[in-house]
Amino acid sequence: MVSRGIQWLLVGGLCLLAMLVVADIAGSDSGAAVVPAQTLTRPPTLDGVLSAGEWQEATRIAPFWHLTEQREANFPTTAFLAYTAEGIYAAFDCQDPEPDKIHAQEIRRNADLSKDDYVEILIEPTGLDIEPYIFRVSARGTQYDHLPGGSASNVRWRGDWKTAVTRHERGWSAEVFIPFQMLRIPQGQQELGIVLARHVPRLSITYYYPNMGVAYDVLKRARWQGVRAPEVVPPPVLLPYLQLDSASGSTEWRSGLDVKLISRGGLTTLLTLNPDFKNIAREVDSVSFSYVPRLVRETRPFFIEGDAFFPDTTLFYSGTLQTVDAAVKSFGAIGKWSYGALATTGDGQRAVVGRLGYQMTPRSRAEVQLVHDNRPGMHATALGAGAVFMPAYRDGYASIGALYFRTSGQGMPVGEKMALSFWRYRGEGQVSFGAQLQQVSRSFVPTLGYAPEVGFRGYEGSLVYEDRWQDRLLQELHVGLTLGQRWNLDGGVLDENISLWSSAVLKNDLALWAQAQGYHRPPYRDRLLTLGLSWNYRRLYNSGGVMVSFGREAGGNSLFWRLAQGIPLTSQLRLKVEYERSQILYNMPDTPDRHLHQLIFTLNYDLDAERSIGGRYIGRGSRFGDFNEIDTFYLTYRQQVRRGTDIFLIFGDPNASRTQTRFAVKVMTPW
């Protein structure tokens, strides 16, 4: 049964949300910028040059805004937006008084562009408060795209878009084409949410259109009205793979198939048979101490696709499904409704997962979630419900949310989790703040979710101050305070924490940060001080840094430090060296001291934007040079092409503790 305290918390939170939503319905006026849609009788030539008359039929968009200071951008930026029956065309004219200082370093598609000059288009095609599409192109012409919820890396699978850029004496310009078939546009939708941006890394500034307020309220995106996109139904995409794995004299062949179907209105269905759930290269974990298991990022393509439409990680963490013979999933938006549904089978286990959301007003939504786990000896169900309201203010916006999760099953008692949250986001130069209350019963067991600790109630609150300056030595400043307490439901303190942190970015490409933390987890009282310094902060391949943390931790004297340095050997060949040292000295005969060293060398050679060769050495052990826990080296080859076959080769085994004589190849050819 639900405890009386959680009942009052739930009822009070839902009543508050209901009153706020009613007020929003009665007086909602988004005041969003409206951009009229224009069609092109003749599409422009994508060469990066904004030729005279080429964009005269498009809507001209200017000025871009410096949101923090609520004024026009220092660097004049003009955009042009239009469409044809095939897709969206956009152009950017980016003026720069010092064009020789434009950053254009990265050449790999979908790599990190945060340290390069770039322009960006955000598109939200459903009219709902869901994650937008992001299309970004750097001053070098390198592309980055992010699809709502994620997608497999194969270009044919996720969809292709085209760009061209040109550098000139006034700065640089870019032209972009995004096909409609890449966007999941609901049937009859004639209004798209649009945000345009220009990033200037040397100023630590991003300029935006429209003016979304000092706190970057994305719900104030521009409304691109009158878009009459054709009913695009792309052909099915088949992505078969073949994998050969040869090690220790034995050879294993593995094959499988993924299928993507997009129907009218952008509703997406995925099928998979014998999916490849074996990562070709694992992520290296830090040697730093943690009281609870870490959540490992999902990398498997089938689960990545449309992830934002599926349940919260608390109820469904896809990493818990290890053996899958076949699966089907579907997701999308219909009117004010959004949904995600998934069913898997394999090794005697069947899982059904679902999420249904409803957009009550432009700034409020509600949803329900379901996860059913059926396997030998276990029949468990997890249910969830939640609502969020995001009122707008002159100096920012707020997020008010309530959620309730419930688990039950064969031979399992009913378990519950309840949370209420309030966060107030304000612009730079002001203090943002928020808090969360939650209670989790000891019997709360989401068998396919991630709930590392149960049986407590508690709160956490935060204060954050941020500011930026363009013409000072100090360009960015971030300061924050976090405090919280959690109590065991059967009595006693679970933990208490207080943390004060600060980071700063200087004009000379230095960054500094510090954190002082007190943490009480009976019987331990941790006290840690962390200091860090980064150099060449805005340089992609020759940046480096050092971090040291020391104090009391888990009943011992703790010391952890990390040193990292990137070394660009040539314009295409780069080396990164990382070293970590962790120790906890207990000074107790019955408790052994903890010593760990980790050394990582990563080498990468870019043949071109679509092909690269990489190598990595990982050593981990109790003494430097004596890596008895991990001592492995492997080489990789990556080919991810715009058209044709993706190939991944690996010599060695990144998941092994010792260097292996192993060869593996994975080939994917989309149809």
pLDDT digits (tens, 9 = 90+) for 656-669: 889 988 888 888 88
- Reported as a single tens digit per residue, the pLDDT across 51-70 is 988 999 999 999 999 998 88
Q: How far apart are CA 166 and CA 168, in angstroms?
A: 6
Positive/negative CA dihedral, 50, 51, 52, 57: negative
Q: How far apart are alpha carbons 371 and 168 in whole angstroms?
A: 55
391, 215 Cβ separation under 8 angstroms: no
Which of the residue ranges 229-233, 294-298, 418-422, 553-557 has the most confident prediction, judged by mean pLDDT?
418-422
pLDDT at residue number 27: 41
Q: How far apart are the C-alpha atoms of 281 and 300, rounded to whole Å?
A: 12
Give per-residue pLDDT as tens, 528-574: 999 999 999 988 889 999 999 999 988 899 999 999 999 999 988 99
Residue 126 lies in a domain: yes
For the chain, what percent of residues have pLDDT higher than 70? Answer: 91
* The predicted structure's pLDDT at residue 261: 92
HSE-CB for 596 with a 13 A CA cutoff: 19
Residue 293: how many other CB atoms lie within 10 Å: 8
523: CB partners within 8 A, 6+ apart: 555
418 has pLDDT over 70:
yes
* Any domain includes 39: yes
**Weakest-pLDDT range from 248-252, 378-382, 452-456, 629-633:** 248-252
Q: What is the pLDDT of residue 281?
A: 45
Token pair of 67, please?
């949101």
Question: In whole angstroms, what is the distance from residue 495 CA to residue 164 CA?
Answer: 54
Domain-embedded: residue 481: no
DSSP 416-427: EEEEEEEEEEE-
Question: Is residue 65 one of the residues assigned to a domain?
Answer: yes
Q: How far apart are CA 604 and CA 615, in angstroms?
A: 6
Per the structure, the complete domain to which residue 200 belongs is given by 31-225
The CATH number of the domain holding residue 146 is 2.60.40.1190
* pLDDT at residue 282 in the model: 45
**pLDDT tens digits, 376-389:** 888 999 999 999 99
Q: Which of 529, 560, 558, 561 minimizes the C-alpha distance to 546?
A: 561
For residues 119-143, average pLDDT: 92
Determine the Cα–Cα distance for residues 107 and 556; give it in Å rounded to an integer. 46
Residue 31's pLDDT is 66
HSE-CB at 303 with a 13 A cutoff on CA atoms is 20
Would you state the pLDDT for residue 10? 53
Residue 185 has pLDDT above 60, yes or no: yes
**What is the reported pLDDT for 16?**
53
pLDDT, averaged across the chain = 88
The top-scoring range by mean pLDDT among 145-159, 239-253, 265-279, 617-631 is: 617-631
331: in domain: no
Which one has a higher pLDDT value, 276 or 510?
Answer: 510
485 vs 492: CA distance, rounded Å = 11
206-261: per-residue pLDDT in tens?
999 999 988 889 889 999 999 998 877 888 999 898 988 887 778 888 898 989 99
CA 69, 70, 75: angle at the middle one, nearest 5? 80
Say which range, 92-96, 213-217, 245-249, 402-406, has the weakest mean pLDDT.
245-249
Give CA torsion, residues 315, 316, 322, 327, to 10 deg. Answer: 130
Number of domains within the chain: 1
Structural domain includes residue 666: no
Q: Which residue has the higher pLDDT, 669 or 513?
A: 513
Residue 52 has what pLDDT?
87
Ranking 95-99, 304-308, 613-617 by mean pLDDT, the lowest is 304-308
Confidence of residue 439 (pLDDT cuts 50, 70, 90): very high
- The span from the CA of 393 to the CA of 31, in Å, is 12
pLDDT score, position 23: 47
Asked whether the predicted pLDDT for residue 472 surpasses 90, the reply is no
Residue 212 domain flag: yes
171 is a domain residue: yes
- Residue carrying the six token digits 């220092």: 74
pLDDT beyond 50 at 654: yes
Distances (CA, A) of 149 to 51, 120, 371: 37, 18, 18
Per cent of the chain over pLDDT 90 is 61
Q: How confident is the model at residue 471 (pLDDT cuts 50, 70, 90)?
A: confident
Q: pLDDT-derived band of residue 9, with 50, 70 and 90 as boundaries?
A: low
Residue-wise pLDDT tens digits, 103-129: 999 988 888 899 999 999 999 998 777
